[in-house]
Amino acid sequence: MKNDTLSYHEVGKGKAVVLVHGFCEDHTIWSDYTKDLALRYRVIVPDLPGFGNSSPEYGEAVNIEYYARRVHELLEQLIPSEEPITFIGHSLGGYVGLAFAELYPERINGLGLFHSTAFADNEEKKQSRDKVAQYIQDNGVPAFTDNFVEPLFYAGNRQRLASEIEKIKQQARLTSKEGAVAATIAMKERTDRSSVLKESKVPVLFIAGKKDTSIPLETSKDQFFFPSKSMIYILDNVGHMGMVEEQEECLMVVKAFIELCI
């Protein structure tokens, strides 16, 4: 379905759960979760602008707050304002979730961060983002994603998940150049949102991988204790893609978290 230029998938009935994908992903990254969660909840899974079937934005300042506002606009048309949602995001989707929680705290009853962080990029990471944006501009998205996707997975899981990795690569190749570049710069320029966690009145879920090289556990673990109510789940042999690398385990955690929030 489409809402103006924002595409989304919706299934199930009950309390609302919103799942937001990461960089160079779309709503299909959550397909297995959506099927299971829809047995009990109303699940809404948007494509962020420039990803999946959502059009990239032209002539607007695209930042993390912008993505959060677009998701909010969608939810305002789908869910009564008095009904809070459980917001769960992977990586970039977690950044959007943090911005959403800052802008619309009354709209959420819980925030789940899958391999994500409230901390801003350090200078080294910002330089890396600039290189990524330039590479995509010069070479296109397929050339970038063919080398980007596999390292997100822990090396010990890549052979076992070869078919899943290939599916994610195929989907990632379809990302618009404009969308990928805009998101890269938005991630680079995002602000530190530690205060959002420290001031949170709702439970926060952290799912992290010990083998995550994109958001290393050593640099992200301090945030785990910022909220007054945290659920922390650390996966031993997992990289940046826990919802795929340990799907059943993570789904179990997500369902327990949703029940805690509602």
Q: What is the CATH number of the domain that holds 189?
A: 3.40.50.1820
As given in the structure block, the two tokens for residue 242 are: 């826990």
> What is the chain's length?
262
Counting as low any pLDDT under 70, the low residues of the chain are: 1-5, 58-60
Number of domains in the chain: 1
pLDDT for residue 5: 60
Query: Alpha helices of 111-160 — where are they, by DSSP H?
Result: 123-139, 141-148, 155-158
Alpha-carbon distance of 100 to 87, in angstroms, equals 9
Comparing CA positions, the residue from 61, 6, 54 lying closest to residue 176 is 54
In contact, 108 and 86? CB cutoff 8 Å: yes
Coil, strand or helix: which one is 2?
A: strand
> Domain range for residue 114?
2-261
pLDDT for residue 61: 78
Q: Any idea which residue has 């530190």 for tokens?
A: 192
pLDDT for residue 57: 74
Q: Any idea which residue has 């296109």 for tokens?
A: 140
